[in-house]
Structure 1
């Protein structure tokens, strides 16, 4: 009887640990232009990372974005602060999803991707 009780208690503890771990796993936020524009107004501690090639970045970008081309994100992501919200912008959103997941896998907590990328960005463009 004692073995059954200990085994049951151990199972409950393991289930609780698994549940806590599962609930704390961060997921990539997918946002639209309107949400990003709102964050740009409200958030003081945010980094917008444009993943496009430097030529396209120079032609026009989301205001205050920095450029880390997608081909370089694996080597340079550590230069992005971990204590700020990070938003990825690319051509259409695909590279932002990959880059966002890379950051989440490496301990970043607050990461988003602009759905549709610059193709769907409706806010101001800086050049």
Structure 2
């Protein structure tokens, strides 16, 4: 029982640490803030291709988080990166990877695509 309590406390501490560290390099933007800047940035949808085809933000490129390491060459470090996924967890993972690779201006859509009310495109 004691071990379980210690394990839970450690897990919570690690999660809290990651959350606060992530806030130092990832800007979480409301839809209005996101809309203000994404046209001058690299707009990346990190969902899988079949999700992207069902509907995505107009002008977005699809680079799934599962392929991001191999496709970093497609992204510039000198331009802001605007990320989104369905709800926000995959784009947070993508942001962590980009941060480790030296990207600095990383932004995320709060609530993800499911909260987006702007223009979309689908196949």
| Same fold at TM > 0.5 | yes
- Which residue of 72, 81, 94 corresponds with 1:86? 81
Deviations 1:64-93 (A, max 9, x none): 100011211122123211111101110100
Aligned length: 99
Alignment partner of 1:124 is 2:105: no
- Looking at CA atoms only, which structure, 1 or 2, has the larger radius of gyration? 1
Alignment partner of 1:72 is 2:67: yes
- Which residue of 53, 75, 98 corresponds with 1:58? 53
How far the C-alpha of 1:121 sits from its partner, in A, is 1.0
Distance 1:67 1:56 in 2: 10
Task: Tell me which stretches of 4 or more aligned residues in structure 1 moved more than 4 Å.
Answer: none
User: Which sections of structure 2, spanning at least 5 residues, go unmatched?
Assistant: 1-23
Distance 1:99 1:124 in 2: 23
Question: Aligned Cα RMSD in Å?
Answer: 1.4
- Per the alignment, in what secondary structure is the counterpart of residue 48 of structure 1? strand
How far the C-alpha of 1:97 sits from its partner, in A, is 0.8
Specify the alignment match of 2:21 in structure 1: none
User: Which sections of structure 1, spanning at least 5 residues, go unmatched?
Assistant: 1-25
- Per the alignment, in what secondary structure is the counterpart of residue 113 of structure 1? strand
Distance 2:101 2:62 in 1: 20
1:88-103 to 2 correspondences below 5 Å: 88-103=83-98
How far the C-alpha of 1:47 sits from its partner, in A, is 0.5
Distance 1:126 1:35 in 2: 20
- Which residue of 35, 58, 70 corresponds with 1:37? 35
What TM-score do you get using the length of structure 2 for normalisation?
0.74
